[in-house]
Amino acid sequence: MQVVIGIDSSTQSTKALAVEVGTGAVLGEGRAAHTVSGGGARESDPREWWRALGEAVAATGYAEQAAAVSVGGQQHGLVTLDAAGEPVRPALLWNDVRSAPQAAALVSELGRTTWARRAGSVPGAAFTAAKWAWLREVEPEAAARTAAVRLPHDYLTERLTGAAVTDRGDASGTGWWTPEGYDHRLLQLLGLDAGMLPEVVEPGKAAGYVGAGTALRAGIPVAAGTGDNMAAALGLGLEAGRPVLSLGTSGTVYAVTRGRPADPSGTVCGFADALDGWLPLACTLNCTLAVDRVAALLGRDREAVEPGGTAVVLPYFDGERTPDLPYAAGLMQGLRHDTTPGQLLQAAYDGAAYSLLAALEQVLTAGGERPDGAEELLLIGGGAQGAAWQRTVLRLSGRPVRIPAARELVALGAAAQAAALLTGERADEVARRWNTAAGPLLEPVARDDEALRRLADTLQRSATLFEK
């Protein structure tokens, strides 16, 4: 029996799965928490990720038996290392929106169309390019001390192997990668030297081998790893055109496509997948945690929703990425004397889900796939198990919804990458052989067009309230 370990280094914690290569059976699991700063900043010490990786891997019970390993990590984060390989400062995470002014300046410099054509995406505050621009402007001493720039999964792979490498999927979320490699014109604009960046490893190739003194057996191969959304797509074994809605701290909607996306509106990010395709994606900052916050304010259980009412809630507590409103705050509108707390909570679910579902057709179209309203939607992430979330997505999408039974899809996708090093298969083929997307199917219901109209109207009329 061969065993591999897949790792998911996410915003709040690191998860690790020990998986049997032949069947996909999960043999062991581990988890360790991270510390994330509060307030306007969202930062973490990368050394905490390394500690958490060791603890999570050890907890699987298979650290010594694993034959290969791979790391999936949160996208976009800016890890700055000095000449000795130590962090210059805490990493700026994807949901740190302090870089919104720098993102706007970068877009103004070249224009949306040029950014979309060259980098595949119009950079927002989440993108690594904007965070590097923020660092150079706000903390020039830290930028001057920086000898190497990494993404979160790059940092962990390098700690495992000693090799400065990344993959095309995660690199496509920086704002300076193209299918031909790093874009030197964009790097020049950003004041970033290509020598500070990791090598992009070809899909299916090993990044290196585990060195001595880690939680894993030395000498086993380490796959290139990838970003969390790309790893989840691998974990599901996605084929082109099948849409996914992920409900977590952030919300995402994406699909693997055959065409390279380039959306100048900025709604759709033109990411690469971890293989040879593309992963157009729209992302919101406020999803399950935002709804839970509304439930807490109301003093209700998160499932205690009630139908009806005219209330609209835009739960943009952390600013918002889709729509692009980085200075937004939470908004409640349309309350009446007879509005109930349960209706207000349901409106928060609707507001969190709306932007993702509104972007679904754009995601498919941007990648050259035909948007078919009858195609089933795969619902994943922590929120996918909640009955209120399931009913909300059914009611607002009008699509059949399948809920894969597999859990920890980012770690599972990383495990599929590791297994592919041993079997010679593509990682998505490994996941399909493991049947990871299997799960109950919820039949479609009539779409609630009235709720969608109220949300669209409120968003259009309130956008000026969120300008800085």
Task: Give catalytic residue positions.
Answer: 228
Cβ–Cβ < 8 Å for 427, 414: no
Which class for 179: exposed (0-12), middle (13-18), buried (19 or more C-beta within 10 A)? exposed
| Contact residues for 222 (Cβ-Cβ < 8 A; gap 6+) | 68, 69, 70, 71, 157, 160, 161, 206, 207, 208, 209, 210, 418
Q: How far apart are CA 30 and CA 54, in angstroms?
A: 10
**C-alpha torsion angle, residues 144, 150, 155, 157 (rounded to 10):** -140
Question: What phi and psi, each to the nearest 5 degrees, are found at residue 345?
Answer: -65, -40
| Contact residues for 290 (Cβ-Cβ < 8 A; gap 6+) | 315, 316, 317, 318, 330, 348, 352
| Contact residues for 206 (Cβ-Cβ < 8 A; gap 6+) | 221, 222, 223, 224, 421
